[in-house]
Amino acid sequence: MIIGLPKEVKTKENRVALKPTDVATLVAEGHNVKVQENAGKGAGYPNEEYEKAGATMVNSAKDAYDTEMVVKVKEPIKQEYDLLKENTILYTYLHLAADESTKELTQVLLDKNITGIAYETVTNENKELPLLEPMSLIAGQLAIDYGARFLQTFQGGRGKLIGVVPGADPTNVVILGGGNVGYGSLVKAAGSKAETYVLDINPKKVAELSDEFKDHKNVHIIQSDDEKIKEYVSKADLLVGAILLPGGKAPKIVTEDMVKTMKDGAVIVDVAIDQGGCTELSKPTTHEEPIYKEHGKIFCCITNMPGSVARSSTQALTAVTVPYAINLAKKGLEAALKEDPGFAEGVNTYKGFITYEAVAKDLGMMDKYKKLEDLL
Q: Catalytic site residues? A: 95, 274
Quick one: residue 128, left, alpha or beta (phi over 0 = left, psi -120 to 50 = alpha)?
beta
Q: For residues 93 and 71, what is the distance between their CA atoms, to the nearest angstrom?
A: 10
DSSP 3-state assignment of 152? Answer: coil
Closest CA to 63 of 55, 51, 75, 53: 55
H-state helical runs in the chain: 20-28, 47-52, 61-65, 100-111, 133-150, 180-191, 203-212, 226-235, 256-261, 310-331, 333-339, 341-344, 357-362, 372-375
> Strands 347-350 and 219-223: what pairing?
unpaired
Write down how long the chain is.
Answer: 376
Q: How far apart are CA 193 and CA 216, in angstroms?
A: 9
Q: Is 54 helix (H, G, I), strand (E, B) or coil?
A: coil
CB 98 within 8 A of CB 276: yes
Cβ atoms within 10 A of the Cβ of 77, count?
A: 14
- CA-wise closest residue to 198 among 184, 246, 303: 184
Contacts (Cβ under 8 Å, ≥6 apart) of 213:
186, 190, 219, 221
Measure the CA–CA gap between 10 and 286, rounded to whole angstroms: 9
Rounded to whole angstroms, the maximal C-alpha distance in the chain is 65
